[in-house]
Amino acid sequence: MIVASRTLDWTTMDSLTRPIPLILGGAICVANLVDCRPMTEADEDAALCDVYPGAFSWVLEDIHKIEPFAVKGQRRLFDVPYELPEQC
């Protein structure tokens, strides 16, 4: 499950070339984490940030939007009670 931050990074938002709809402070999708590796310059566009020392890239597959709901995010992996919809 991917949880969106409650706060907005305006520096990143200002660099986007097209506006995107925002959902803050809630679960927005589910995905399978298939790899976690050191970040490279090739990852910068997808990550919306520059590579920096100690950065990692999470490689996700089977990404599905879900009906957003409030979740208090954490800066680590954590469990969220959630039952995956049939269509995912």
**Domain ranges in the chain?**
2-70
Distance of CA 29 to the CA centre of its chain: 8
Q: What is the mean pLDDT of residues 63-82?
A: 82
Structure tokens at 46: 């997808």
- Most confident by average pLDDT, 16-20, 30-34, 37-41: 37-41
Cα separation values, 65 from 10, 11, 87, Å: 24, 25, 11
Chain mean pLDDT for the chain: 78
In this prediction, residue 20 carries a pLDDT of: 55
The residue among 23 and 17 whose pLDDT is bigger is 23
